[in-house]
Amino acid sequence: MSAVAIRCEKIAKRYRIGVGRHDTLRDQIAEGVSRLFQPAKGGEAPGTLWALRDVSFEVQAGEVAGIIGRNGAGKSTLLKILSRITEPTQGRAVLFGRVGSLLEVGTGFHPELTGRENIFLNGAILGMRREEIQQKFDEIVAFSEIERFLDTPVKRYSSGMYVRLAFAVAAHLEPEILLVDEVLAVGDVAFQRKCLGKMGEVAGEGRTVLFVSHNMAAVQALCTRGIFLRKGTIWFDGSINDTISTYLRTLEEIPGQDLAERVERRGKGALRLTRVEISEGETMPAGILAAGRPAQFSFYLTGTRSDLTCTFTIYDQYGKPVANFNSATLGPEDVYDAAFGPRITCELDELLLAPGRYRINVALTAGNELEDHLEGAAFFDVDPGQLRGRPVHAHSKYGVVTMPHRWKVPLDL
Ligand SMILES: Nc1ncnc2c1ncn2[C@@H]1O[C@H](COP(=O)(O)OP(=O)(O)OP(=O)(O)O)[C@@H](O)[C@H]1O
Ligand SMILES: [Mg+2]
């Protein structure tokens, strides 16, 4: 018999923008109080934003669902409502069972308390007795690999350490419902793998998991159902494969090339990406690339700064990351010149991609701050070509990279 674990009824969440984020309880109380004194208005007050609208769905106990969608789609807001970190403006969420959650770094733990104290605090919040928590304690510490820092206040933790402990707590305190937001974005690859393994275990034990991630391979491996959020509403809800392909198709529908107009982006925004140009070179037609030929990615910005870093990742048509480029990893042939204007360019002598369709995500940072992040900032097709004299044909099902190589073949003389 299946039972409902999570029920969302017409959830909507409105944020007032330009007044900072309201992630702490104190901020929420302050917001609640100030709301009391606002005159009721017909229509929409300026500076409000609906992060979620009319979101209704049910998740059965034991279901493992992936929530996907572009930056700003409302995924984290939904998980924050489910884990009671924030209240919905309208509608309600009902959860049946003990909830463990790992949301973005910065929520869930008390910064002044040590790692050890936070483990007990979280257990108590989940309704566990002290002895029960004690029993799990060693497992949590072993999994998190942060034993040396157990008695350090978590505000001194690096984001990687924080996520290690937060995940260990969320997954080991036997939640019946596990909510995980983007854990894979932080931490090293080995730890990410360990987290995925642990989530698979939790799911295998028949517990309910909601998993938010931009990593389609991870979502696909872990989840059976998918919910695709777009602009705060449920755009698609179905099998994980159908959901991912619907999502990837909509990434391609991004209108026009005027990236400045795009609202689905993240970052401070003091510096923004306005246009991406992809071609073989300065004088070559845009958008045409071939395997084994040169390639040039140009990013036009609203301005420039000396501590600017540009990062971009190429994804294949299935949404798997293929290659990442980062201007902060210095190479001997890099050139710095004020004459480049507000444009940063990445040149490749030989494109080692197999024929097919690709997209790129772009991030701009200045200092340590994310200024702008755009998913699907540009698309490009790679045509068949030649790599050092050897033809490269289209065989996308055998992989997306091509490499210069030579054969040594025995001859039957
Ligand atoms: N505390 C807040 N105050 C004001 N606006 C907010 C707040 N939290 C989120 N928003 C806005 O609500 C919208 C949804 O944000 P949310 O963080 O839920 O998106 P997301 O799908 O998790 O995106 P990402 O993939 O970038 O993590 C965005 O436009 C965001 O700027
Ligand atoms: Mg988010």
Confidence of residue 251 (pLDDT cuts 50, 70, 90): confident
Give tens-digit pLDDT for 277-301.
998 887 776 777 889 999 999 999 9
| CB of 28 shorter than 6 A to ligand 1 | no
- Give 172: exposed, middle or buried? Use CB within 10 Å, 0-12, 13-18, 19+: buried
3-state helix, strand, coil in the chain (%, to 5): 30, 35, 40
Could you tell me if residue 376 is inside a domain?
A: yes
DSSP character at residue 406: -
| CB of 76 shorter than 6 A to ligand 1 | yes
Residues 211 and 281 in one domain: no
CB of 144 within 8 A of CB of 222?
no
CATH number of the CATH domain containing 373: 2.70.50.60
pLDDT for residue 14 is more than 90 = yes
CATH number of the CATH domain containing 209: 3.40.50.300
Helix-then-strand count for the chain, H and E: 8, 19
Residue range 70-80: average pLDDT?
Answer: 90
| CB of 230 shorter than 6 A to ligand 1 | no
Listed residues 183, 217, 252: the one ending a domain: 252
Confidence of residue 332 (pLDDT cuts 50, 70, 90): very high
Residues 221 and 338 in one domain: no
CB of 226 within 8 A of CB of 237?
yes
Residue entry with tokens 């008695």:
151
How far apart CA 184 and CA 214 sit, in angstroms, is: 9
CB of 279 within 8 A of CB of 289?
yes
Residues 222 and 343 in one domain: no
Residues 203 and 333 in one domain: no
Report the residue among 34, 49, 85 best suited for mutation to probe ligand 1: largest number of ligand atoms under 8 A from its CB: 49
| CB of 86 shorter than 6 A to ligand 1 | no
Residues 237 and 304 in one domain: no
Name the residue among 301, 373, 358, 378 with its Cα closest to residue 70: 373
Confidence of residue 74 (pLDDT cuts 50, 70, 90): very high
Confidence of residue 187 (pLDDT cuts 50, 70, 90): low
Identify which has the larger pLDDT, 246 or 361: 361
Closest ligand 1 atom, residue 263 Cα:
29
Cβ atoms within 10 Å of 329's Cβ, excluding its own: 10
Confidence of residue 240 (pLDDT cuts 50, 70, 90): very high
Could you tell me if residue 139 is inside a domain?
A: yes
Q: What is residue 128's predicted lDDT score, i.e. its pLDDT?
A: 79
Give tens-digit pLDDT for 89-105.
999 999 998 888 777 65
How far apart CA 63 and CA 204 sit, in angstroms, is: 10
| CB of 26 shorter than 6 A to ligand 1 | no
Q: What is residue 258's predicted lDDT score, i.e. its pLDDT?
A: 74
Could you tell me if residue 300 is inside a domain?
A: yes
21-35, 181-195, 234-248: range with highest mean pLDDT: 234-248
Structurally, the chain folds into a number of domains equal to 2
Q: What is residue 104's predicted lDDT score, i.e. its pLDDT?
A: 63
Residues 200 and 321 in one domain: no
CA–centroid distance, residue 191 to ligand 2 (Å): 20
| CB of 75 shorter than 6 A to ligand 1 | yes
Q: What is residue 44's predicted lDDT score, i.e. its pLDDT?
A: 62
CA–centroid distance, residue 195 to ligand 1 (Å): 24
| CB of 71 shorter than 6 A to ligand 1 | yes
Name the residue among 230, 264, 244 with its Cα closest to residue 65: 244
Residues 84 and 160 in one domain: yes
Q: What is residue 256's predicted lDDT score, i.e. its pLDDT?
A: 56
pTM comes to 0.66
Confidence of residue 250 (pLDDT cuts 50, 70, 90): confident
CA–centroid distance, residue 14 to ligand 1 (Å): 10
CA–centroid distance, residue 189 to ligand 1 (Å): 26
Identify which has the larger pLDDT, 107 or 407: 407
Q: What is residue 201's predicted lDDT score, i.e. its pLDDT?
A: 85
- Average pLDDT value over all residues in the chain: 85
| CB of 267 shorter than 6 A to ligand 1 | no
Residues 55 and 195 in one domain: yes
Listed residues 197, 228, 252: the one ending a domain: 252
Instruction: Residue 280: give the domain boundaries.
Output: 264-398
pLDDT for residue 265 is more than 90 = no
Q: What is residue 253's predicted lDDT score, i.e. its pLDDT?
A: 64
Give tens-digit pLDDT for 308-323.
999 999 998 878 899 9
| CB of 51 shorter than 6 A to ligand 1 | yes
Residues flanking ion ligand 2, Cβ below 5 Å? 76
CA–centroid distance, residue 245 to ligand 1 (Å): 23
Residues 179 and 280 in one domain: no
Residues 204 and 295 in one domain: no
pLDDT for residue 324 is more than 80 = yes
How far is CA 13 from each of CA 10, 20, 66, 82, 84, rounded to the nearest angstrom? Answer: 10, 15, 20, 12, 13
- Left if phi > 0, otherwise alpha if psi is -120 to 50, otherwise beta: which for 105? beta
Q: What is residue 19's predicted lDDT score, i.e. its pLDDT?
A: 54
CA–centroid distance, residue 326 to ligand 1 (Å): 26
Confidence of residue 226 (pLDDT cuts 50, 70, 90): very high
Residues 95 and 124 in one domain: yes
Residue range 348-373: average pLDDT?
Answer: 93
Could you tell me if residue 34 is inside a domain?
A: no
pLDDT for residue 40 is more than 50 = no
Residues 143 and 168 in one domain: yes
CA–centroid distance, residue 407 to ligand 2 (Å): 47
Residue range 381-398: average pLDDT?
Answer: 83
Could you tell me if residue 328 is inside a domain?
A: yes
Listed residues 252, 272, 292: the one ending a domain: 252
Report the residue among 11, 13, 15, 31 best suited for mutation to probe ligand 1: largest number of ligand atoms under 8 A from its CB: 15
Q: What is residue 38's predicted lDDT score, i.e. its pLDDT?
A: 47
| CB of 74 shorter than 6 A to ligand 1 | yes
45 φ, ψ to 5°? -65, 145
CB of 176 within 8 A of CB of 164?
no
Q: Which distant-in-sequence residues (6+ apart) come within 8 Å of 219 by Cβ?
A: 66, 68, 211, 213, 226, 240, 244
| CB of 49 shorter than 6 A to ligand 1 | yes
- Helices 130-144 & 115-125, crossing angle to 10 degrees? 130
Could you tell me if residue 382 is inside a domain?
A: yes
Q: What is residue 216's predicted lDDT score, i.e. its pLDDT?
A: 83
92 φ, ψ to 5°? -150, 160
CA–centroid distance, residue 213 to ligand 1 (Å): 14
Could you tell me if residue 226 is inside a domain?
A: yes
Could you tell me if residue 30 is inside a domain?
A: no
